Structure 1
């Protein structure tokens, strides 16, 4: 227990603060928030300790105003030396704290670190502490130092509070003295001569007529030495102009009171900071000004504390916001730069190897970055930016350069605004820069072959057209499809198909020139830009070399694989201005090559293109249809049988061909899967369906079909999350309809994908149930939310065998917690039959055909045209 005498002095000092039970302090709450984030702890407290109670002056992570003192860790902390932290890594394992109610009861603390808070030596008024519910054996010297520095900030705020309390008391006394002065000069002199503040009476021309004896202590003058003088003769030159304007307003009675702060010269020549309060005196009868009273208080010490606190907070905030220990502190006047240990270690230097001067710093900056960093710094110095922030490279000890994010701020200026001091941080962003470069590369390159992708291909083609226009050169575009690629995928699997595509990419690169471009546009489709050719036969020769290179067999797991190549060629000249039209010509020539028996090449022939049958171009036209927006979504309602209301809609894709009219999904979906277009097409469907569903009232759901090929993509989850995030649709309102083809893969990746999608709330439906090989087993293996019974069952429900199968499906699905949706209900009799078998939801033409998005508004408002009642 503490010494009784010291304990009484401590309690007296605590009461003198008048702070127990006072309102929250935003600055102290901010320190608690910073500490909680910095140390990743749930509880941070600023505590004040009286005889029996511990008061929460600021808190983070707890409620209430305080706790009993008995059994609290703060009792141990305040008995320590001021500023010395008490750290207990495991409260339960320490005999001093193991039985504490804060350990055995709420908040069940297991870690504690606290620093005594003292205003005077030996008198610890409270603590600044952090607590965690798990032990923290890794809480080391660095963390202890940071905790101590935060405690210094808290102490500084308490000292400011003490100064404010003292100031309020002194201000009250000063007001009483000024009232007495107006009543009687005798009472004025008596009060002035007993005050610790300097009291001065001045005429309206600012000549001093009376100076109180306190001037001896504050400025070192005798009172008589200052009688007859004027204040501006003693004010610092940098403060004189602003203070002169205040005096002018006061003596001309434009204001009655003024409070300022400026530097005064002591008799020994030193400058001290004074808090100056002035009040205009008026004649009680005429109310005309007669002079003014000035009160001077020396606040040099308080000002130093405030400046130090502000600088400390700015440096701490900057360090915490940047998340780095690479700190620097630059004295602009001397050029000296103080660097933290982490700053040097980032560059692999010893501290002794770095000259602490700004000139040596600039020698480390990459020559290409010096001018940019100087301009950015000048912008901050001149006030054009609130802070200095610049990315540049610094030379490490090994001679290589690392990327640095430099942040800083001017924390001291002269009266003229000239920077005196800058503090800041350096963060190593080399990895981020590398990632940015890698992401930029991935955005323009195919991840499988590392060839330029479609985006970069179009950029290169546009650049080639510009060059041909400017220099009257000629070039060629070659479109290449692999003949027999689907057979490789089906026969050997996707790993073999991937290896084949990578091998073909390498062979194409080997036969073209460095100035040419080889791109993979998707699936088994490649494109080549032959830059600046002289003769048409150059392109033919290159096409022959390409076909020969692709034809060479390749090995896979002891097997031999081989494919062919069909190539279409179109030429561009200085008169070419339409990259899309040129590519279409090349694509048309490709199909002419395929029509000629494959594994050959053809130059673009407009007449042959005109004669070519439309069906043969369907795969090629799908790409253009996507660009033109020919694909659209229709929505068919899903009706809940129990209530007769709409539960949601299924999104159905349609293709309106400009020549052939509407093309059935059964015709174009397989082509999209074969060409790889199903990936971007499926992503568009998902994005558009979610966007539309987000405008519907909750809880209407949207059901979207997902291809097996989509599910094989690594980015499937990312595609779903991006669609949800972009639309704002809650995950539980999205239902992905998958088929047995997906589940038959039985890969760990498919299982993980389904599980993670369900974890975020997305529902999974098993589409076309009962038409595959082993559907019943999948209900046990996978978590399925909805089972969709194919319309073929509805058509055949007149058969008792079909009814028996459907009844078994419904019973099994319901036992496993899944809903049952029946597709293709077109008559009242079919509706009555599926209702009798206990199905949950139905959809079909009986209620509504698929409708465009704009046709859903009335349907959602009124319900299906024929109620399910």
Structure 2
């Protein structure tokens, strides 16, 4: 069959069917609209009855009409045969869009002007994409590699924009400085805002996890575009909503392409007498379609027409393709692809749609192919139209977004969502295979100290290095996930016995043991591991993870850098801790925490020089609860900040009421030093109670100096500047370093009662006491011996020069109202 006859009625029908996003209409020689298709109605908003007979300048702004822009376009088309330009055009509703306009002069066979053919295309987004493509690719990197038309940004739970990427700026026209902090509803039309559409989108995403819709959105310049919008709810590890991720894509062209082609066909059929005029600009319509278009003869297989997009995608000019079979002019793989699509379309008859990857001169691309037939009678197709849309970027963006939703951004490991899915899969498989599943919870020992000392950026590099080591220890079928911070979890599938989990846990501890070298820092860390086994311990995914976490807690409690299996008694202990935590919260609210005071004796005067304030919990059911039974829990849960503040305020208030010069000593937990407001809390306690600062003594343990020592020593100096005294408690029992005594001027050193108990029978204990008192005397630091219970101990301590004493020999801790009896 010969190359396509562009004057064929059937060919016009096919080509017009293919136009999907153009406004096409005819003008009289004076510029009056003489016909109007549905595509023009969609693009400009006017129905045919409203616009036919009107002058086409109605689509221009008042300023352009006053400047004569419409008439100059017609005059140029008269003079040269064509006028082509870009500029703002108006719709019926007053909104504007950036248009690419072609006006072709239409003449009869004698060359007399009989009118104009006008085609208009909305190319706002295309222009924006071209201008910002390079910046978009640089900014998105892994997120949207190669994706050119997505706006991605975050909203807070109320819908305010929190960040703004280059793609969003390109799509909507706002810079980050203009839009961050604004409510996202400003992208909606006034009508949509008045009906509450933006808020309903957030509510749906909050309730169901995702809101997805298509609709009209606005740019900064007021122009509108048709958008595909996805709003995903973003939650933290506890499931609490922390915001929304919003993805917007301009789909104006995609929605209009095929429909415009069909409308162009209807236009050609309705105005068959104008076909000779339309043929002069149909080529330009086809050339502007952003998809590859091939028309074939279904009988001979010859290519009858190919547009410029097809030339670029398939690597062959239209001139070389027309009149040839695909196998004669195209690469074998491309020819085979066209043959397969055509055959499938002919068999389907009613239309055919398929996605397929194809190696092209542009690289490996994914094509979404549509095949339509033009019926020629006798149940035979006259033409086969194949439209191939390159959706590689679109699919890559969806794949990347899916990956981000299931993986940790820092380490690339599975996140909590993917971990839960893999654990459910493993449990289902275990039920069929009758195998075991291991769940391991891992925690890096003392990671917070590393973060505090070297910074979060350093900590992040350590976590990435740790993830690499851990992953290299596991099988391909196992899943390693980062749940948050330095918390990791592992699913071990298809275990034959619990000992397999035992061996894996030990390998993990061993692989972490060698020193890490990061930024010229070499250091070693430990790993604590908790293990739970299904179905032995439980068959529920949530319970297994909880049990493994309880076992991890036990491993850390038993010294760290080890692993522990879940045992039923751990669950019972956890329940007791939870009950005690709730009771402790109630105790704080109801004032069940009170202070008892133990006297401190001054050797020189033999009188009470002050008291140590010791917290007691008067539990309504369990009676008196001692600090050793609830302070560790308070430190673990963070309640120590409230407990410590109550102790400080109560001690200052009660001491201020004594009307003596006696001091009051209050213990500070190492955890309290993590609170940057500690100095302010102490200052307020002094101010509210009117207690003289010199009468307040704050006791710390050596662990405060080991944990972020530089920062904590600075805090101690700020506390000392308030005028209070600082005592070093339990001296000699931990990691005592004389350098701390040089770094900070302590007012008192308290000798631990373990040395006092042993010094009568132990020369070593006596030597330690003698060394501490001698050193303190040289440094002019007061010493207090704790736990003095006998006269013999008292006399020996006096002989060693100890300046103050405390213990049952002088009095037990008593409530404030019984203090005077001592």
TM bin, normalised by shorter chain, reads: 0.3 to 0.5
Higher relative contact order (CA 8 A, sep 6+): 2
TM-score computed with the length of structure 1 as normaliser: 0.39
Compute the TM-score of the two structures, normalised by the length of structure 2: 0.42
